[in-house]
Structure 1
């Protein structure tokens, strides 16, 4: 089974190469920059290595691993990323495949897929079992690094070189890659290859396809996915519906988006913050503050925490419409929720409150901003007051 499936998937990658360049709207991002000092980052690396001596830290602090790697990668300190991951080989955890899978994933998040591949190849030397689980982690690292050609290479050698049989997770990761490449027809055709090899698509398979088709506004193909889900008795969840909601809003079909929200409720699928945010964005883009506020209230009633984008969208429109009291309420809630607020939008709120002679409220917001460490710059009361 594995050799046949691998050949077919690798063949799909070869066929998709030329079309991907023409259709993808997702170019490989340039390396970001940072203002963090080298001294601070050096201290970060040393502190992380020291913390790694604790088995509790290694087993439970997954977020610390991820945030440290992301911070170093953002500063383009890739040698430091390699240093702290290589340091993990000092611990007996390195013989656990689950632990190595995490490290491979970290390399992927840093865009260092060659290092992820090297670690994957070293697993037998580290006395660590190498199964399809770690192979899937390597495939995901390719997707996160946007190194799609390398996925084709891996699929061409996985059977003979590694004696590993791809599974459903492997196929779902390949589908994700094709969607990122813009090769949506190839993504859909993976389902046929799965079924020929005795692998049934699951909810993740279909949700990945739905997101890909709707992001590219291919509504008719998305409807085929919905039909196939029904045929296979795969029950959709909120993640299935959200891409359609966003696509309807982008296509200026907001009344249909509202109907879809209602349809979700009738089927027992509760909308989440992303569902409500899609509608809020639609009304904000149309300049309809009252309807946007209405759906913001619905979000609150459904115990959904507003997103960072929700606060920015609503706050900006509220300032434009002169509703500075509502904008102030949004800023305060965002700060209390420890959600980053767009500084320019907050300054607009301060300026608007001052113009309305609401000096106490303006000063309160300025002080609130200053007292919260996640604001890098200072808000100011206009000097002409």
Structure 2
């Protein structure tokens, strides 16, 4: 082993040296010899992270564990990312208990913020279908000062649960956070509503929507329409048109705070006679936009939602209506349309949006 050692060794120097080694055990040997060769030298967090990453990526789990214990004994300040890498290594090797044990022992390290480790262990537990354990772990740790942004933690966890088809567990977490005085935001409602509807939990979805009226929709925000629309669409798909119209009426009165004179009227018999579910949905979408006081937020939200669903023609109609009402398209609306066109391989149409539509609207591409 031929190493050109510098006259004065810094942790950055050592990181560069061990990264160049093809054999992870050689890198570990150099890592361990550094202190004896340079008595005043001390490892820091980044060099520990480099060593842990090298050993983890090469499957040297026992050696990685020893380095982690050495880092704890050194009590050097370390970043959250070193634990994230180690826990993912344990998970890949099927050592879930080791990953869980490492997370529980993070307070013994000199780490002041372990938010990403918290997200990572939750993800691992959900992937292993340990939903109840994950829920308990979340409630035990989400309010600790080392975990920043309780709402972001809540949203990420609920999103993962809903992707696994466990919106029931996500709902329990949502309600538990509410009792702890943590107020969910609009994104929390959007994630949970989507999950409940995908799992066919329409009663829970309806109650969730009604709870929005006295929580986040007190001032009648137009951005809430995408959450309302999620439930209305699924009710229609499920053949519950009358229920959808009833819910819409409450949305207009209590959610969008529409004054009586501007409230959009829907003929329920017309809806019941329409065989095309998509036609019913379009009618309800129109009601969401016109039913309250028109706003840029409501137009933009529903347009972006339609583009994301690849309903370009419908979205373009809403855009025209938005322009006729006196509102200008926002950059986010153009970006949503471009993303959809590119997904559909409509490159020429995407170019037209940039070179024609955006130029005409005096909107500068980013």
User: TM-score interval w.r.t. the shorter chain?
Assistant: 0.3 to 0.5
Report 1 or 2 for greater relative contact order, CA contacts < 8 Å, sequence distance ≥ 6: 1
TM-score by length of 1: 0.42
Whose Rg is larger?
Answer: 2
